[in-house]
Structure 1
C-alpha cells in the first residue's frame, strides 16, 4: 500500500492527548454556564453538546500515537476498532430494548449521531486500553 494512500490514517502526536482530555470537562462547564446564564436550551441539546465534545475527545485519544508505535500496537488498534463496532451494535440493541420497554417504541430522541459517535469512540478507547493492559500484564 502506498504511503500517500487515502487508506492511510495519519496519527496525532502524543501531545494531543492533553488537548483531548480538555474535551471531557469543557462541555459540562459549558452546559452549566449556559444554564446559569439562563439561556433557553432544551435538556436534550445540553446532552448533545456533551456527547459531541466527548466523541471528539475519545476520537482524538484513539488517533493519538503511542510512545512505541510498533506492529503490536497497530494490531491492537485494528482489533480495538473491530471490537468497538461489535460493542456498539450490542449497545444500541440494548438501548432499543430499554426504550421499547420504557416507552413502547424502539426509537426516541435519545438516539443521535453524537450519542452513537460517543459510544463508538468510547468503546474503541476502552478496548484499546484493555489490550495494552493485558499485554503489559503478560510481560510481567
Structure 2
C-alpha cells in the first residue's frame, strides 16, 4: 500500500476509534460524499513531499480533517472539532509497512459558515513520516 493509503487509513481508524467523535457523527469519509447527513467528518487527501534522509525514506505533508454540521450556531461543531483534534493527536506512532510518525503538529483550526445554518470546521496538521527497513 502507498504511504498515502497507510496514512489515510490510520486517520480513519483514529477518528472511528475515538468514541466522543464516532458516536456523534453520522459517518467518517475519506472522499467527499455524494450524499451525507450532517454532522459528518471528511478526511482530506494528504499533500506529501519528500522528507527522506540518506538511509531512510521520509515524507512531510499536510493532513486535514473537516467536520460538516448544521445549525443556527456552531456550538456542537466546536466540540466535534475538538474531538477530532484529540483523536488525531492520539493516533498511534507506528502506521504499518515500516512507516512511523516522526512528528505531528496542529497548524490551524477554523470554523466558517458555509451557507444558511451550515458550518464546516477544518483542522490541519503537519505530519512527518519516516520508513525504516
Q: Quick check: which one's helix share is greater?
A: 1
Query: Into which bin does the TM-score normalised by the smaller protein fall?
Result: 0.3 to 0.5
Q: Quick check: which one's strand share is greater?
A: 2
Pair member with larger Rg: 1
TM-score (norm 2): 0.32
The structure showing larger relative contact order (alpha-carbon pairs under 8 Å, at least 6 residues apart) is 1
